Structure 1
Amino acid sequence: MKTITRIGAVCAALVLGLGLTACEDDSSQSKETKAKQKSYDQLVANQPAGRMEYSPTREAINQWVKTWGKRGKLSYVYIQNAKGEYGYFVMKGLPVPRCKMLTPTEKVDSSTNGKAVVALPGMDGVYSSGSTCDAYYGFDATTGAYMEFTVGTNQSFFLFDKPMTMPEYASATQLGPTSVDDVGDVGAKD
C-alpha cells in the first residue's frame, strides 16, 4: 500500500510539474519582463541600497507638521502673474486644493462579474471629475471671507508662514480684505 501511495505521489508531482511548465508564458513581453527582473536582481546584489542613520526628509515633514499643525496659524500667499507682478492674501491656515475632500471619491463595487471602481458624489451631492486641483481656496485672516485662486498657465503662488520682506514680496499688492499690517506679527509668532 505504501508503494502505491508513493507512486501516486510521484505521478501527481510529475503531472503538477508538467502542468505548471505548460502554463508558462513564452511571449516576448514575458521574456522582456523576466530580463528586466534579472537585471534588477543583479544590480541590487551588486549595489544594494544604502542605509541612512538619519532622514532629512522625515525631519522636513516633522517640521512641516510643527509649523502648520496649529489652530489659528496664518499663511501668506504671494501670487505672481505672467508679468512678474506680485499680490498677496493673508489666510487662516493653509490654502486647500479644491480637489481635496473629506469623503471618499470612489468605492470598489464587487459582484459575481468582478470588481469595478464606482464614483461617489461629493459633499455637495454632485459628482466631480476631480480636475480642480489647480484651484485653491481658503479664508481671509480677519474677515473669514472665502477666497479662491488658480495656479498654472503663467500664474504661480508662493506660500510662507510669515510675511516676506524681500523687495518683490514687500511691494506686493494686497488682494484680499486683510493686509500684512492688519495682522502685524500674529503669523510670525511661534
Structure 2
Amino acid sequence: MKKSVHMALATAIALVVGLALTSCTSDSSQDKENQRKQDNYDHLVAEQPAGRMEYSPTRDAINQWIRTWGKRGKLSYVYIQNAKGEYGYFIMKGLPVPRCKMLTPTEKVESSDNGIAVLAQPGMDGTYSSGSTCDAYYGFDATTGAYMEFTVGTNQSFFLFDKPMTMPEYASARQLGPTSVKDVG
C-alpha cells in the first residue's frame, strides 16, 4: 500500500515538474511580436466580431458551378482572344485542365529530429515538374477526342462558357479545333 502511495506521489511530482517546464516560453523578440499580433487579433475580434450572413452568394456560386460542370459529357466552349483582338474557339469534353494539376501528391513532407523537409515527388510520367505550367491548359475535342492544348498570357486570353456565345465578338470566332458549333448544335 505504501509503495502505491509513493508511486502516485512520484507521478504527481513528475507531472507538476513537467508542466512547469513546458510552460516556460522563450522571450525572443519574435515570440513577443507574435504574441503582440495575437493580442491585437483577440482585441479586434472582441471589438468587431464577424457578422453573421443569412445567405452566402459565394457558396451559392460554388454549388451552381458544381451543378453546371459536375455532369459527365458536359461540353465547354473555349474562346481565345489573341493580341489583335481576334477570337477563335475550341469545343471540349469537360473543362480545360491546367497542366500543373495532378492526381497524385506533388510533395511529401518528412520530419525528423533535425526538422521538417518538403520533398518534390515525381509525376505520373516519372519526371519532376517545377509546377510552372499553370498557364498551359489541355483538354479533348468534343467529337473526335483529339488532344488540344493552349496557353494563356502574353496578349492571349481565354473565356470559358458552357454553351456557344452569340455576342458578335464570339459569334464571328474562327473554329480552331476539329469540332464546330454546328457539329454539336
Do Structure 1 and Structure 2 share a fold, with TM-score over 0.5?
yes
**Structure 2 residue identity aligned to 1:131:** S
- Once residues 37 and 123 of structure 1 are traced to their aligned partners in structure 2, the CA distance between those partners, rounded to angstroms, is 42
Deviations 1:16-70 (A, max 9, x none): 48x956x43142x443333332222221111100111221111111111110011
Amino acid at match of 1:116: A
Aligned residue number for residue 25 of structure 1: 27
For 2:23 and 2:59, the matched residues in 1 are separated by 45
Which letter does structure 2 place at the counterpart of 1:25?
Answer: D
Structure 1 runs, 4 residues or longer, greater than 4 Å off: none
Show the 5 A alignment for 1:144-163. Answer: 144-163=145-164
CA distance in 2, matches of 1:91, 1:168: 20
Offset at 1:112?
4.6
**What is the CA distance between 1:111 and its match in structure 2?**
4.0
> What CA distance in whole angstroms lies between the structure 2 residues aligned with 1:111 and 1:39?
34
Question: How many residues are treated as equivalent by the alignment?
Answer: 172
Q: How does 1:80-159 map to 2 (within 5 A)?
A: 80-159=81-160
Secondary structure class of the residue paired with 2:117: strand
Tell me whether 113-122 or 148-157 shows the greater mean CA deviation.
Answer: 113-122
Offset of residue 102 of structure 1:
1.1
Equivalent position SS for 2:58: helix
CA distance in 2, matches of 1:111, 1:37: 29
Q: Deviations over 1:54-109 (max 9, x none)?
A: 21111111111110011110000001111111110000000000011111112123
Q: In angstroms, what is the RMSD of aligned CA positions?
A: 2.3
SS in 1 for 2:118: strand
Distance 1:113 1:37 in 2: 28
Q: Please name the residue that 2:48 is paired with.
A: 47
CA distance in 2 between counterparts of 1:109 and 1:47 reads 40
Counterpart Cα distance in 2 of 1:20 and 1:75:
58
Question: Share of identical aligned residues, percent?
Answer: 81
Which stretch of the first structure deviates more once superposed, 34-43 or 144-153? Answer: 34-43
Cα 1:155–1:33 shift into 2, 3 Å: same
How many Å separate the matches in 1 of 2:121 and 2:23? 42
Unaligned regions of 5+ residues in structure 1, if any? 185-190
Which moved further from structure 2: 146-155 or 104-113?
Answer: 104-113
Q: Does 1:34 align with 2:31?
A: no
1-structure distance, mates of 2:34, 2:113: 31
Under a length normalisation based on structure 2, what TM-score does the superposition of the two structures give?
0.84
Q: TM-score, normalised by structure 1?
A: 0.82
**Corresponding residue of 1:182:** 183
Q: Deviations over 1:120-179 (max 9, x none)?
A: 111111111111010000000111110000011111110000000001100111110111
